[in-house]
Amino acid sequence: MKNKKVVNVLLGVLALLLVVGMAYQFTPNVGSLFGNRQQGTPALRVNGQTVTVEELEAIRRGNPVLGSVDTGVLADDFKTFVVSQAAQRSLLQQAVRDIDVSRADVNAEVQKVREANNLTDNKAWTDALQGAGLTDATYRAQVRDQIAIQRKVEELQKTAAPATDAEAKAYYDLNPQAFQSDPRIVGRQIVVADRAKAQSLLTQARGGADFAQLASQNSTEFKDRGGALGPIENGAPRPVAQVALPAEVGTAAFALTQGGVTDVIESGGKFYIVKVERFLPPAVKPFAEAKADATTAVTEQKKNAVVERWITDLERNAEIEAVDPNWKTQNPTVAQVAGQKIPYSDVVSQVVQNQQFASLLGQVPGEQAAGLVNGILKPQVVEGLISGYGAQKIVQDRKLPLAGTRQELAAALAAYGARDVRVTDADIQAFYTENRAQFQTPGSATVNEASFPDRARASAFRQGWNGQGSFVTAAARAGGTVSERGSVTAGGETLGEELNAAIFTSKNLRDVGEGSLSEVVPVGNRFVVAYVTDLKPATVQPLAAVRGQIRDQVLAQKRQEAGQAYLAKEIATLKPVNNLQQVLAAQEKRVAAQAPKPPAATTPATPGAGNGEDAPAQNGGTGTSSTGTPADGGASNGNTSGTNR
């Protein structure tokens, strides 16, 4: 088991990250994917190259989702996914046969893996490989192909045209969030080693004392510049980012978007007070400063697009034949747009790799999951694929300076459609009014409670204790059982509903000593009196303090809505054809026809039934269970695994 775990990590070297958002990965622990390719039971031929049953089963075992359902439409989907993945891998292997990879290159990569996994001993290495069903030779063949594919990708990416100024500017305009500076503050701090001293200095600062003078006289840091967080330039402190402060201190200081003084904050054995003189919100850098980054981003998108086109061409021209009928699959055209056909395997691939789908399978039976996937997830996936496949045509027709893969172009088009969206003061006010709870800080307090067996004792204690001496001692003497709850937050589970109400919403708190006593509260068969100190009521942040946060949130929502509406409108001009429902209906019919038929039920003959003319007819169904045969009435636009994709 230990060796198997090691090899699972070891085989991670075979991951092939080809384009952003698309990882064509060789599943760990899949046995011989590349070496000795003719060994095993033939299942498929991809452009004449054999893919074995063992390879397909290894792919299925390598993904727990694929083994979670073995009947019904989801099982049919999973078989489609396995076959399409195996075919894709075979196509990639064939496409890099001309790439030169020396024995020394392979040896160097294998040596790195062995050293990284502490497998330099030959026996340990051999044992680890055997635990994954590999030999040294087959593993080296895998590594050879991995290196070859990486080199092919790099070779293709070099052919991508560099980003133009127009493309860089468009990327900058449509992705302002990628070029925002961090928020900064202009401020000063006081740092001391004693909490009591810090509290005293905080009181003075909030009472109107000159903060810079307090820092110069007392702070252990930056006292020579009056506690200024940044160096003094032109008579004022330079703005600093949050990383310039300890984590806890930075969080508190950068929450003061309207300026002000923090509480005393402990960090690393020191006590900090920060005065925020000016808060500088995030701002988009000028294009002159951002141009280099924008150019790099677009160039990477264009490299991604080159690789995507290469893979698409490989798949479009592939000849796939099912040698083993058990691995024959249907891969119909699920949609068409801009002269391009979208295969059903593209839909299944996105479904299988969707994290929400994996979670769904763990919560509901496969049949129920299939209904939800077919009714909700697959329609969404198909619409997304149609947008991606159609985006390039729209960009070309509109002569827009956008670049990237299909999905990158679709996202860019949506951003282009939302480029003029603005947020008004009315939008901000409406959001604040409708979502006040989002900006509320709940009340808090330090609570001790005394529980009494009857109301009379509890009431007598509440009326008799004047706050002198220890609450714990006084309550115990009065016959109560004391629980120290410590710091609590309103609405939390620590106190229970009754005590929460008595402390944070009741108007009947009785002031005693440094705190207050709650009214007597029945809790179960006991009666409780709570002693409350450091009570802080719930507060709602003023609109001015959260205006920027709301603006960003509302802007993002409005842009998403406007962008998707624009993209849908533009895609509609291409008159896409969506065959999903026909494809799903044909699949359901085919899967039902392939399902094993239950044995026919028989009815015992009724005594005296004569010649049996009234006996029920036997179920003489002749349904076949041969795997992979298309159901009658299936989608006529579909391809099987024995045709071009």
Tokens encoding 216: 């110069």
Nearest to 586 by CA among 638, 639, 635: 635
| Whole-prediction pTM | 0.74
Q: How many angstroms from the chain centroid is the CA of residue 203?
A: 45
Exposed / middle / buried, residue 505 (Cβ in 10 Å: 0-12, 13-18, 19+): exposed
Buried/exposed 544-571: b ≥16 CB within 10 Å, e otherwise? ebbbebbbebbbeeebeebbeebbeebb
Q: Which residues, at least 6 apart from 51, have a Cβ–Cβ distance to it below 8 Å?
A: 37, 42, 43, 44, 45, 86, 87, 90
Q: What is the pLDDT of residues 118-165, one digit of tens each?
A: 999 999 999 998 887 778 998 998 899 999 999 999 999 999 999 999
Residue 23 has a pLDDT of 30
What is the rounded CA–CA span in Å between residue 432 and residue 540? 11
Q: Which helix (H) or strand (E) holds 209?
A: none
- Tell me the C-alpha distance between 198 and 204, whole Å: 10
SS3 616: coil
pLDDT at 606: 52
Residue 472 carries which side chain, given as an amino acid letter? V
> In the prediction, which pLDDT does 614 show?
41
Question: 59, 82 in Cβ contact below 8 A?
Answer: yes
**Nearest residue to 488 (alpha-carbon basis) of 455, 444, 449, 454:** 444
Report the DSSP pairing between strands 440-441 and 539-540: antiparallel
Q: Is 518 exposed, middle or buried (0-12, 13-18, 19+ CB in 10 A)?
A: buried
Torsion of CA 75, 81, 86, 91, to 10 degrees: 150
467 burial via Cβ count (<10 Å: 0-12, 13-18, 19+): middle
Model confidence pLDDT, tens digit, residues 306-330 = 999 999 999 998 999 999 999 999 9
Give pLDDT < 70 ranges for the chain. Answer: 1-39, 600-645
Measured between alpha carbons, how far is residue 391 from residues 79, 313, 345, 568 in Å? 30, 18, 20, 10
**How far is CA 417 from its chain centroid?**
25
